[in-house]
Structure 1
Amino acid sequence: MPHLSRRQLVMTSLISPFLISGCATLPRLTKQMQIQVDAPFAMPPILIPDFSDAPHFVITDFGALQEDQAKTTVAIASAIDAAHAAGAGVVVVPEGTWLTGKIHFKSNVCLHVSKGATLLFSEQPADYLPAVHTTWEGIECMNYSPLIYAYQCENIAITGEGRLKARLDVWKVWYARPKPHMDALVALYNLAYTNVPVADRDMTRGEANLRPQFVQFNRCRNVLVEDISIEDSPFWVMHPYLSQDVVIRRIKVRAHGHNNDGVDPEMSQNVLIEDCVFDQGDDAISVKSGRDMDAWRLNTPSKNIVMRNCRILNGHQLMAIGSELSGGIENVFVDNCHFVGSGDGADGHAVPISNLLFVKTNERRGGYVKNIHVSNISATKIAGGVLSVETDVLYQWRNLMPTYVRKLTAIEGLHLSHIRVNEAAFVCQIKAEAEAPVRNVSLKDIQVQKTLHTPVVTENVEGFIHTD
């Protein structure tokens, strides 16, 4: 890939200053490649960017210094501006540890973190201001910027064998949920319920302490993340939100903090997650589609999501569906994934995985879940089961506020096959509402060597098939 000289960089900025604003679409110079994914449903090809011929913009050419967070933050932003203005470019982080604040993407830009390089993100909330349009557990708001943030961008990528690491000094204090935080959640919910514009939902005031996601792709298209390692996170690790055509492959995540899901595709479509390693404090993957009123307003399901060839060292669920699912979730395929921890903490992993597939919702969500497929999975010791469905999962919200609008979730088409587990609490447990029975569930070739409780429990299920 070509490397632009300082003079070329200056000329580029002089020729195209009007292009350096937000994620405005440029004349597309980024090549694209098409990924075809086999799935038990019609899966459209996924388009991702190809930066193989794009020029390089090394952050040291823009003044980055390893020991200087302020200069490095500005240098990364300047390199992104230059790459964007060129029509396509690779921003290169060379070997070494680089202190930085927030990173905001622009279209047609690849952030390449070289092998031996670490981007070490600030722990100071003030470094993630001003507030940006983002979300908190399915509700839109203005909050601290995600550490890496892309808004309305296309053709973007994070690549390289380097590391992204979050300092947790302040965020880990924010993991606690004292009364001011809970009060802020209630206030935010009421803002959404009364349809207050998102621009007026500022959650950075007072002691709301709503932690930002590590990486958020917000309303983006054609996204690639590959080979990177991610360590620690204030909140959800990787959050494709209202995005389309996303490929996440060969990444390694180790984040044991509160709400540290690995990947949370939310109201996103055509997503491939493959060949990854997850070592989580929460779910490995959690597919979501918004909470209650905001999701009904946005009316965008999560759809066509494939997770394959992944290993899970630690986490609550291998695949969670919900509980934020008010926009609907359909066409999810999990194949050839394996929980490889011992499940007892002896190998340094804190907890066993709870369930392989966990569908969770409640009477406030509405939405729907349909056409979920899980196959060729193995696990050692799990605290839950192969399949768990619960329709009364409210967590702290049960006592925070009453149910304003009651909407049950339609759940149908859960298909699991060719699964091997050494030990589990149960094989399958489905607890549904009589008013909205779960429909069309199949378990085929499920082998659990030891179950601690009744293997199969179903309440309000229609069309249940269980064969060895």
Structure 2
Amino acid sequence: MVTSKALLLKSIVLFSAVVVLVLSCGKQVSVVSDTNPWEKMDLIIKSIPETHFLNKDYNVNDFGAIADGKTLNTAAIDKAIKTCNANGGGRVIIPNGKFLTGAIHLESNVNLHLEDKAELLFSINPKDYPIVHTSWEGTELMNYSPLIYAKNKTNVAITGKGTLNGQANTTNWWIWSGGKSYGWQKGIPSQNDPNNREVLVDMAEKGVPISERIFGDGRYLRPGFVEFFECNTVLIKDLTIINAPFWILHPLKSNNIIIDGVTVNSHGPNNDGCDPEYSQNIIIKNCTFNTGDDCIAIKSGRDADGRRVAIPSKNIIVQNCKMIDGHGGVVIGSEISAGVNNVFVEDCVMDSPNLDRVIRIKTNSKRGGVVEDVFVRNIEVGTVKECVLKLNMFYNVYGSQTGNFIPVIRNINLENVNVKNGGKYSVWAEGYETSPVENITLKNVVIHKVDSIYKLKNVKNINFINTYINDKKVEPIKN
């Protein structure tokens, strides 16, 4: 006779096996021990499938490409990609040399591989980027194609130690930002003109169909660099990326992405290094980010558009990365209306007088969204300008940013973090009286030098465990 206790034990074992099986098939993580969140990270990693390609190469030179840095090779590269896909997949080789091209559209089962001294020079002529369904600052629209674009593709990659050069500077794409430091002067059109960014945001608020949100020529909304839109099982590995027009690596509504060993060096406006948006199961590892904006910025849509899509970004892992210049090392927001959860950051080095923050969450009552379960450990920080941890529910950069969607920020954990110079604040957290920032833990954190220990407003349950700031142990705060 089987006892009830034995049946219970058998049920637990069976349930655990089912969870492991689901994870191993690349499904979403739903059940794991609450006592050790890093176990959840390990299961996420094991659940992400890797790309696999046929052992066939298609050299773009065989399709008419010319490596003189002047001849436009868009058609030759496109033909090589489509031929590779039609034959079951493989590698499309960009050999050593400089290849000028317009937009590159990838296909399933294709690995675009750059040899070590290969460089793709992307045209600065907007006419070389056809109008496609994409996203701009968290709002979907029809706009210039990203420089490299894939939509609804599976098993696709960009690899190799070559260079992707967007050729953006203060005489072309960057000037569209409307920033004087990027070449803009009064009388020059930009994204800030009334018919451009503001119109797009208004269209989204009114629920205008995406097919009718047509931008492109005359609207000055810069294209992204690399965008995987509604894709699954993607690898981006070993590349160097420079001189981007806008956001650089942008997984959008995509799952199972591995970004490994990529170097981003681009100091233009809105030059975020990597922006996972509405995306899940992402690993960003062994990368270097030296950027004009956030190094990594996790997104989930802007305002009404984000609430319409309603896909949170989650299960995002950052490992062994180096952050140099940037507005923040790992940032969540501000386009965050669908929420973010299960973010893991470990074994990173951040150091620059031009790095503003280490970890940052930014939202407001127009964005809304729930941000929860962010875990950070084993971080070495040299110099950071403003603060180590900033949690802000009142982010405001484009005029009035208030509404009726009060955000939630909770369960933010830092452990084993060593900081030489933390700037102005160790922790700067501001919430609403009705929605305080909740459950912040700093454990085994050492900040050797900082102007102020913290700046707190409407914060509930902040814990300092074995944490030393300016050579003094931080006492618990009574909540």
| TM interval, short-chain normalised | 0.7 to 0.9
Q: How many residues matched? A: 420
1:48-92 Cα distance to aligned partner (Å, 9 max, x none): 2122x4311110110101237565211110011011111212100
Contact 1:316 1:354 in 2 (8 A): yes
Partner of 2:373: 371
Aligned to 2:368, what secondary structure does the other structure show? coil
Paired with 2:71 and 2:301, the residues of 1 have a C-alpha distance of 35
Q: Does 1:197 align with 2:195?
A: no
Flag the 1:34–1:462 CA change in 2: closer, same or farther, 3 A: closer
Partner of 2:382: 380
Paired with 2:247 and 2:72, the residues of 1 have a C-alpha distance of 27
Q: What are the ranges of 5 or more consecutive residues in structure 2 without an aligned counterpart?
A: 1-23, 30-36, 180-187, 468-479
Contact 1:33 1:49 in 2 (8 A): no
Paired letter, 2:246: F
Aligned to 2:83, what secondary structure does the other structure show? helix
Matches within 5 A, 1:350-369: 351=354, 353-369=355-371
Partner of 1:335: 346
- Alpha-carbon RMSD: 2.1
Aligned to 1:464, what secondary structure does the other structure show? strand
Paired with 1:72 and 1:455, the residues of 2 have a C-alpha distance of 55
Q: Does 1:304 align with 2:303?
A: no
Partner of 1:266: 277
Moved more, 33-42 or 169-178: 33-42
Contact 1:33 1:50 in 2 (8 A): no
| Aligned mate of 1:285, from 275, 288, 296 | 296
Moved more, 108-117 or 179-188: 179-188
Partner of 1:295: 306
Paired letter, 2:434: E
Partner of 1:78: 79
Paired with 1:273 and 1:318, the residues of 2 have a C-alpha distance of 13
Contact 1:83 1:91 in 2 (8 A): yes
Paired with 2:73 and 2:362, the residues of 1 have a C-alpha distance of 42
Paired with 1:429 and 1:394, the residues of 2 have a C-alpha distance of 16
Partner of 2:191: 181
TM-score by length of structure 2 reads 0.84
Contact 1:34 1:48 in 2 (8 A): no
Q: What are the ranges of 5 or more consecutive residues in structure 1 without an aligned counterpart?
A: 1-31, 344-350
Paired letter, 2:299: K
Q: Does 1:46 align with 2:48?
A: yes
Deviation at residue 385 of structure 1 after TM alignment: 1.6
Partner of 2:434: 435
Contact 1:222 1:246 in 2 (8 A): yes
Aligned to 2:251, what secondary structure does the other structure show? strand
Partner of 1:17: none
Partner of 1:411: 409
Contact 2:300 2:311 in 1 (8 A): yes
Paired letter, 1:173: I
1:103-153 Cα distance to aligned partner (Å, 9 max, x none): 001111110011110001001111112x11011100001111100001111
Matches within 5 A, 1:7-156: 39-41=38-40, 43-44=43-44, 45-51=47-53, 53-67=54-68, 72-129=73-130, 131-156=131-156
Aligned to 1:383, what secondary structure does the other structure show? coil
Q: Which runs of 4+ in 1 moved over 3 A?
A: 32-40, 68-71, 177-180
Partner of 2:183: none
Partner of 1:348: none
Partner of 2:474: none
Aligned to 1:181, what secondary structure does the other structure show? coil
Percent identity between matched residues is: 37
Flag the 1:63–1:35 CA change in 2: closer, same or farther, 3 A: farther
Paired with 1:199 and 1:232, the residues of 2 have a C-alpha distance of 30
